[in-house]
């Protein structure tokens, strides 16, 4: 069929297929902006029809269609929540004292005390940064949403609200057993396993959800709790270590130096920065110290932060169905195997 025999409908739909007509400049001139808009609109309509009219399948990585609020980086290898400002502040507050220590204090300690001291500090410092990054960028144990059952629709007369179910759980080292309620999550469309909860910032159910940490920009759940605990522990020791070293350098160098005035002695860069680091680390040790003590107390009680706060807020009976002995509790939480990610964001699938 020649272009001159195009139907009117086709001509309107695909204006660029019309024969060249020097008298119709609006359709034939490709540089005409009006004509270009018409072309773009017609192309968009055709593309939309191709996508929705006929089924088009593509193979893509899962994270590209992830329904929660998580952000994936490096092709789905890393995942975080969306509080990047708080995360950047935390990272800066941790990196800065280490950089100052290596520039101003490590050299003095290496030559006047022992090389082992800055080397030990380097190890603890690396532990803090690595555990923090692992905790912030790991999958905390997100439970994938169920897409195979009917969605509860309150406007539909036959729609039934899924009832909460009760499960019997018991401690392996005691004769006691407890009835616990497993709640149906309407967002994820599943019955949450015991100790799982829905994080409303990330919009996912997470296995063994301890809490959502804004400063680390991630949920703290079953798969990254160990990193979180190592982070708190190493950060607390790093702060104590830096407090001692900072004050030691400032006072020891003054005692064995030639300065007679301590204020003037602190004007030397390495002495002043070390003294500042001592104060900074002393203040900075308070927060991780409190958190570490809080976490140790809760692990010993067989609870996590979410369960503890829920029991306090609802003023229910203090039932702890997962409590064994203190050592078993610590072994369970810190030494259990790290299960595979349920979400597997890098896996490819048909969409």
Interface pick for Zn ion out of 39, 198, 211, 346 (rule CB under 5 A): 198
Give exposure, 298-330, as e/b (b: 16+ Cβ within 10 Å): bbebbbbbbbbeeeeeeeeeeeebbbbeeeebe
Among candidate residues 185, 199, 213, 219, the one labeled active-site is 213
∠ Cα 48 50 51 (to 5°) = 65
Q: CA-CA distance, 333 to 301, in Å (whole number)? A: 12
Q: CA-CA distance, 262 to 235, in Å (whole number)? A: 30
Q: CA-CA distance, 165 to 182, in Å (whole number)? A: 5
C-alpha atoms less than 13 angstroms from C-alpha of 200 in its C-beta half-sphere: 1
Tell me the Ramachandran region of residue 247: left when phi exceeds 0, alpha when psi lies from -120 to 50, beta otherwise: alpha
What x-and-dash track marks residues 60-99 binding Zn ion by CB under 5 A? ----------------------------------------
Q: Does residue 343 touch Zn ion according to CB under 5 A?
A: no
Q: CA-CA distance, 181 to 184, in Å (whole number)? A: 10
Pick 181 or 187: Cβ nearer Zn ion? 187
Q: Does residue 291 touch Zn ion according to CB under 5 A?
A: no
Q: Does residue 187 touch Zn ion according to CB under 5 A?
A: yes
Options 183-191, 227-235, 239-247, 317-325: segment touching Zn ion (CB under 5 A): 183-191
* CB of 224 vs Zn ion, minimal distance in Å: 11
Pick 219 or 292: Cβ nearer Zn ion? 219
Options 11-19, 36-44, 100-108, 186-194: segment touching Zn ion (CB under 5 A): 186-194
* CB of 214 vs Zn ion, minimal distance in Å: 9
* CB of 201 vs Zn ion, minimal distance in Å: 5
Alpha-carbon distance values, 135 to 138, 227, 301 (Å): 6, 5, 23
Options 11-19, 182-190, 295-303, 333-341: segment touching Zn ion (CB under 5 A): 182-190
Q: CA-CA distance, 264 to 14, in Å (whole number)? A: 82
Q: Which residues contact 213 (CB under 8 A, 6 or more apart)?
A: 219, 220, 228
The first and second tokens of residue 177, run together, are: 């057993």
348's enclosing H/E stretch is strand 348-350
Interface pick for Zn ion out of 201, 296, 301, 305 (rule CB under 5 A): 201
Q: Does residue 199 touch Zn ion according to CB under 5 A?
A: yes
Which position has the token pair 């018409």?
Answer: 38
What x-and-dash track marks residues 217-256 binding Zn ion by CB under 5 A? --x-------------------------------------
Interface pick for Zn ion out of 106, 196, 205, 249 (rule CB under 5 A): 205
Residue 185 designated active-site? no
Q: Does residue 13 touch Zn ion according to CB under 5 A?
A: no
Pick 100 or 135: Cβ nearer Zn ion? 135
Q: Which residues are known catalytic residues?
A: 213
Contact footprint for Zn ion (CB under 5 A): 185, 187-188, 198-199, 201-202, 205, 212, 219
């Amino acid at each position: 069929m020649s272009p001159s025999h195009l139907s009117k409908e086709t001509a309107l739909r695909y204006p660029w297929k019309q024969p060249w007509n020097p008298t119709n400049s609006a359709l034939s001139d490709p540089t005409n902006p009006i004509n270009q808009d018409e072309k773009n609109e017609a192309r968009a309509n055709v593309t939309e029809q191709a996508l929705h009219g006929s089924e088009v399948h593509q193979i893509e990585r899962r994270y590209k269609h992830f329904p929660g609020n998580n952000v994936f980086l490096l092709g789905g290898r890393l995942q975080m929540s969306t509080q990047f400002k708080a995360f950047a502040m935390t990272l800066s507050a941790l990196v800065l004292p280490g950089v100052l220590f290596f520039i101003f204090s490590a050299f003095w300690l290496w030559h006047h005390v022992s090389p082992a001291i800055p080397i030990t500090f380097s190890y603890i410092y690396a532990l803090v940064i690595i555990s923090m990054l692992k905790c912030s960028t790991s999958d905390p144990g997100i439970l994938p949403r169920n897409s195979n059952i009917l969605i509860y629709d309150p406007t539909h007369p036959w729609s039934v609200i899924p009832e909460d179910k009760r499960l019997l759980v018991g401690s392996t080292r005691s004769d006691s057993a407890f009835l616990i309620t497993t709640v149906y999550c309407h967002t994820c469309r599943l019955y949450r396993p015991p100790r799982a909860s829905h994080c409303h910032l990330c919009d996912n159910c997470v296995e063994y959800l301890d809490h959502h940490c804004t400063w680390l920009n991630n949920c703290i759940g079953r798969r990254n709790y160990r990193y979180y605990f190592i982070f708190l522990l190493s950060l607390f020791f790093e702060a104590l270590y830096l407090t001692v070293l900072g004050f030691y350098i400032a006072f020891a160098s003054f005692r064995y130096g030639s300065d007679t005035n301590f204020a003037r002695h602190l004007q030397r860069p390495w002495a002043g920065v070390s003294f500042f680091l001592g104060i900074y680390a002393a203040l900075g040790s308070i927060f991780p110290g409190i958190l570490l003590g809080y976490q140790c107390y809760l692990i010993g009680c067989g609870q996590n932060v979410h369960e503890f706060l829920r029991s306090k807020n609802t003023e229910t009976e203090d039932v702890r169905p997962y409590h064994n002995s203190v050592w078993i509790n610590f072994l369970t939480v810190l030494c259990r195997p790290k299960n595979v990610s349920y979400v597997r964001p890098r896996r490819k699938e048909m969409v």
